[in-house]
Structure 1
Amino acid sequence: MTAVDHLVLTRFNLPTPGPESLVRAQEGWLQNRVALFERHTVPTMRAQSQTAFTWIIYFDPQSPDWLLERMRPLVDEGLFVPIYRERVDWTDVVADARATFGDTHGDLLLTTNLDNDDAVSIDFIERLQQAARRHPDHAIYLRTGLILQGDALYLRDDPENAFCSVSERWDAPITAWRDWHNLLHDHLPVASLPGAPAWLQVIHGQNVSNRVRGVRTDAAQHRDAFPGQLDGIADAQAGRLWLDRSVMHPLRELRDSGRSIGKRMILRVGGKQSLDRVKQVVRRLG
């Protein structure tokens, strides 16, 4: 079997320019972020069916002492490896991957982006490693996921979502942080794979770009794959499911289509920096 070295990558509180800087400046941002991390990300990563992976989390070197103390039990448990940096780009990730796996590395390097307020299914790592063997030298997306807002759960098909991975050979890796998650197709062929929901995004007041997408679904059929994440969500009534699928979902699709066209035009004309500036203005106005 092809040997896969799997590195999961998370930015926790790295200093970030652009629209995210406005969110990070809000009072209580870090406390709320820690609460989301402990509620959603930690338990689902701890519950993985495949445990042969290394999880690196990047922290600001100026992080407060209380945050480091809060993270210490998780580090002592061996759940993740903390690295303290003021900035991280894809070349830094390559260096960290080589330092992590050393000269005795396997056949493929698999890197996966994971935000620190999201959850993943119990077979997320296992499915990615299987896909990495089938699709070397590809950007990989498990395209089906869930979005939770309050007590409403939505099934989402997102071909190039933020839970992006890159499977590649070790000779000249670029990693999943080579570009924005929806621009990796500029660097690699893409394998966007269907299947059961592999990830869960929670819509909360500090989301920068996430919003309700997809079609309303019943939580009962997804609880086993996301242990502890959907226990308090009541089963959706048939009438609500019908209303969402018949009326609300088409309206959201129309809204998102307009947004996508606008983003593509801004990217084509002004590039990523222009899109960041637009997002920052929108965030201020909001």
Structure 2
Amino acid sequence: MFQHFVITRFNLLVPPVEQAKGGTPILDESWMINRLALFEQYCFSSLKAQTNQQFTWLVFFDIHTPEKFRDKIYSFQNEFSNFIPIFIDGMEAYLPSIKKEIADRLTQPYLITSRLDNDDCLHQDFIKEVQTEFDQQDFLAIDFVDGYTLQIEPEVRLAYRSHVHNPFISLIEKADDFVTVWSRKRHGQWSQVKKLKSIRNKRVWMSVIHIENATNIFLGYGDIDWQIIAPFNIERKIELQLKQRNSPFGNWKKLSFKQNIKTRWKVTSKLLRRKLFPFLLN
């Protein structure tokens, strides 16, 4: 009845961002080494552990990616057949390539496409929960508002995170003239779309905050048990190291309080706007 595609952009630069948060040039060799490590430890390991394996993972790399990195990329494919690396000529080719690659594989009357950044990770039931929402809708975006955030440097902090129109949105649609979840280049643009279902209290995603994040900062809140991290299936060695370095909640309790209030206000106002002013949505 449907096919599910997870779509990830890897080393395709989006202007005008040229440097990561720490000043490191994006897409140079050191960036690529570090990002492949993050990808393997957090993102790849979480997709490989999904309880529902009925999906195809399309990961887009730049055509100029050096051979030594391609060897590592192909090793991911050998380890996990759902992972499909695709090499394209820059960001301008991204959206057309997504549609082409899906069209070449599409055999069902419906499809689901899900966004996933290459340095984030998913709960092992993410795919299952997304597919549970399928009911032959012509067009419906699925937005799991609540998740977690994990800061891994310079200090480790694990916290709740709630984000309306976040980077983990999925789109259910008919295969005829499909557009995919990437039809909105920025995930925040889904705020303008009427056919969107906001789902609360299913924490099926985790944003990972690190020194090379170009735009993301730590916006978490709450004192939570470290054990919630288990079903995200971070590489075991890395998870143990993070647990040892985890910052006591008391060290950032005031920050948590401020961010909790700010988050509640933003989430409530955005959801209320959708409910009260649907005529403003497309």
Q: Same fold (TM over 0.5)?
A: yes
Residue 164 of structure 2 aligns to a residue whose secondary structure is: coil
In the alignment, the residues of structure 1 paired with residue 158 and residue 118 of structure 2 have an alpha-carbon distance, to the nearest angstrom, of: 20
Q: 1:70 aligns with which of 45, 62, 72?
A: 72
In the alignment, the residues of structure 1 paired with residue 77 and residue 151 of structure 2 have an alpha-carbon distance, to the nearest angstrom, of: 30
Q: For residues 149-189 of structure 1, give each alpha carbon's deviation from its aligned partner in whole angstroms, at most 9, with x where no partner exists.
A: 23311101112111111111111211111111110243452
Structure 2: tracts of 5 or more residues without a match? 21-25, 268-282
Q: For residues 91-149 of structure 1, give each alpha carbon's deviation from its aligned partner in whole angstroms, at most 9, with x where no partner exists.
A: 43222211112xx32x3211111111111100011111112338651111111111112
In the alignment, the residues of structure 1 paired with residue 68 and residue 124 of structure 2 have an alpha-carbon distance, to the nearest angstrom, of: 30
Q: For residues 209-265 of structure 1, give each alpha carbon's deviation from its aligned partner in whole angstroms, at most 9, with x where no partner exists.
A: 111113133243413322246444259899629x62xx32343367789999xxxxx
Identity within the alignment, % = 26
Partner of 1:84: 87
In the alignment, the residues of structure 2 paired with residue 26 and residue 84 of structure 1 have an alpha-carbon distance, to the nearest angstrom, of: 17
In the alignment, the residues of structure 2 paired with residue 63 and residue 239 of structure 1 have an alpha-carbon distance, to the nearest angstrom, of: 41
Aligned residues of 1:147 and 1:202 also touching (Cα < 8 A): yes
Quick check: 85-94 or 34-43, which moved more?
85-94
Q: 1:249 aligns with which of 234, 253, 256?
A: 256
Partner of 1:94: 99
Aligned residues of 1:132 and 1:140 also touching (Cα < 8 A): no
* Distance 1:4-1:235 versus aligned 2 partners, 3 A rule: farther
* Distance 1:155-1:53 versus aligned 2 partners, 3 A rule: same
Aligned residues of 1:154 and 1:212 also touching (Cα < 8 A): no
* Distance 1:48-1:136 versus aligned 2 partners, 3 A rule: farther
RMSD: 2.9
| TM-score normalised to structure 1 length | 0.78
| TM-score normalised to structure 2 length | 0.79
In the alignment, the residues of structure 1 paired with residue 27 and residue 85 of structure 2 have an alpha-carbon distance, to the nearest angstrom, of: 23
Residue 78 of structure 2 aligns to a residue whose secondary structure is: helix
1:80-159 matches, cutoff 5 A: 80-86=83-89, 87=91, 88-101=93-106, 104-105=107-108, 107-133=109-135, 136-150=138-152, 151-159=156-164
Aligned residues of 1:139 and 1:188 also touching (Cα < 8 A): no
Please tell me the residue identity of whatever aligns with 1:44. Answer: S
Structure 1: tracts of 5 or more residues without a match? 261-286
Partner of 1:14: 12
* Distance 1:212-1:82 versus aligned 2 partners, 3 A rule: same
1:52-63 matches, cutoff 5 A: 52-63=54-65
1:1-286 matches, cutoff 5 A: 3-19=1-17, 21-23=18-20, 24=26, 28-77=30-79, 78-86=81-89, 87=91, 88-101=93-106, 104-105=107-108, 107-133=109-135, 136-150=138-152, 151-179=156-184, 180-228=186-234, 230-232=239-241, 233=243, 240=250, 244=253, 247-252=254-259
Please tell me the residue identity of whatever aligns with 1:13. Answer: N
Q: For residues 177-209 of structure 1, give each alpha carbon's deviation from its aligned partner in whole angstroms, at most 9, with x where no partner exists.
A: 111111024345211111332111121111011
Aligned residues of 1:223 and 1:231 also touching (Cα < 8 A): no
